[in-house]
Amino acid sequence: MNEFRTYSENTRTESRFNPALPAHLLLMKRRIISDILFTALMLLAATGLSFLFFHFGNKNSVNIAIVYILALILTALRTSGYIYGIVLSLFCVVAVNYFFSYPYFKVNFSLAGYPVTFIGMLAISLITSTTTTRLKRQRKAIAEREKALVEADREKLRANLLRAVSHDLRTPLTSIIGSASSFLENGQELTESERTELVANIREDSEWLLNMVENLLTVTRIKDVPDNQVKKTSEVVEEVVSEAILRLQKRLPDIKIKVTMPNDFLMLPMDPTLIEQVLINLLENAFIHSGSSEPVDLIISEEPDHVTFRVRDYGRGIDERRLPCIFDGQQASSSDTDSHKGIGIGLSICKTIIQAHGGTISVANQEGKGAEFTFTLPKEKEL
């Protein structure tokens, strides 16, 4: 007996300190109580409103039925399952007969034509209830499907980033280790220019890795926001562009950029740090991978509902086979690209940032020569 009492006390204690166990049942109970109360409220509201109509001269039972059908639709939208709508449907038919059909406050199904009216109202009520509930479930299924698609896109992005990082980090690290080993083991035998070249290579690869880490931190910043929607503030486009170019020129002093933009004062809702990262990635890619010494063009144009940014170079362009998947994080493997400075991860991050802002990004080769990356940012919606 004592053992049984101890077991019962332990069970109650475990349930009390393990809220995960009854949480689902508690939530279901609250939901049922809420649905019952809402259904009862709709019954009382519809009946009270019907009495007002009835006593102020509108004694047409068809109009009274419309009031109950409205309450039925609201109940079906608010509650879960079919039972509440079915119960309310039966109540509506009986209430019209009992309260608003002669003889009043008596149920009389022998009235002329009432069996047809009864069946018709019941059918309309049941169809309305079931249709509304089915539509609500369809909306819920569509929302869950969209959520699953978003999660699939996130998983795809993670896989692409992991593949890109495995390449972009391994190769420059190998180069840094090789250059450092050569400097340490053969430093005295090397000429001053050779030692300087080794140190310059180490610095260049280290700066590239620093840029890679900044890109990865950018992605982490977006992933920490629910639904990948970044926090935006109204920013002056010219200031964001200037800051991006200044940051890039500190890293690449030889880069030349020609900016063309409207004279009008442009402001856009954006996260300025993220958009600067997009501009830096695109301008840096155009400078490093185009193989051209001509200045990179940054062309900004204003449209009625968005602003367009175009980064255009005059180099060798992009292999047509790579264009469809260039934003998927895949690395360049052709011989016309630097061996370690792949562009896949940077473009994946650009796509993620622009989509989080509600914009679009694309790429195309120019008819003459070179490639053009285009992205758009929507303007703030006017109320």
φ, ψ of residue 256 in degrees (nearest 5): -120, 125
Q: What is the DSSP letter of 241?
A: H
In this predicted structure, the answer to whether residue 47 has a pLDDT above a threshold of 90 is no
Q: Could you tell me the pLDDT band of residue 380, with boundaries at 50, 70 and 90?
A: confident
Is-above-0.85 flag for pTM? no
In this predicted structure, the answer to whether residue 240 has a pLDDT above a threshold of 90 is yes
Q: What is the pLDDT of residues 90-109, one digit of tens each?
A: 777 777 777 777 677 777 66
Nearest alpha carbon to residue 79 among 140, 139, 133 = 133
Q: What is the pLDDT of residues 334-360, one digit of tens each?
A: 444 444 455 456 787 888 889 888 899
The Cα 246–Cα 252 span in angstroms is 10
Collapse the DSSP code of 57 into the 3-class scheme (helix H, G, I; strand E, B; otherwise coil) and give the result. coil
What is the gyration radius of the CA atoms in the chain, in angstroms? 34
In this predicted structure, the answer to whether residue 57 has a pLDDT above a threshold of 70 is no
Give percent of the chain above pLDDT 90.
14
- For strand 257-260 and strand 296-302, is the pairing parallel, antiparallel, or unpaired? parallel
Nearest alpha carbon to residue 326 among 347, 312, 342 = 347
The Cα 360–Cα 242 span in angstroms is 22
In this predicted structure, the answer to whether residue 73 has a pLDDT above a threshold of 80 is no
* Per-position DSSP letters for 74-135, written without gaps between them: HHHHHSSSSHHHHHHHHHHHHHHHHHHSSSTTS--TTSTTHHHHHHHHHHHHHHHHHHHHHH
Q: What is the pLDDT of residues 10-41, one digit of tens each?
A: 444 444 444 444 676 777 788 888 888 888 88
Mean pLDDT, residues 159-180: 72
Ranges 182-196, 211-225, 305-319, most confident: 305-319
Q: What is the pLDDT of residues 200-236, one digit of tens each?
A: 888 877 877 776 677 667 666 665 555 556 778 899 9
Ranges in the chain annotated CATH 3.30.565.10:
149-378
Q: What is the pLDDT of residue 6?
A: 46
With b for 16 or more beta-carbon neighbours within 10 A and e for fewer, the 47-68 pattern comes to beebeebbeeeeeebeebbebb
Mean pLDDT, residues 279-303: 89
Q: What is the DSSP letter of 227?
A: G
The class level of CATH for 149-378 reads alpha beta
Q: Could you tell me the pLDDT band of residue 277, with boundaries at 50, 70 and 90?
A: confident
Nearest alpha carbon to residue 300 among 368, 242, 237, 378 = 237
Give the residue ranges of DSSP H helices in the chain: 2-16, 20-55, 61-78, 83-100, 114-186, 192-223, 237-251, 272-289, 344-356
Taking residue 46's Cβ as centre, other Cβ atoms within 10 Å add up to 23
For residue 109, what are its two tokens? 């199904």
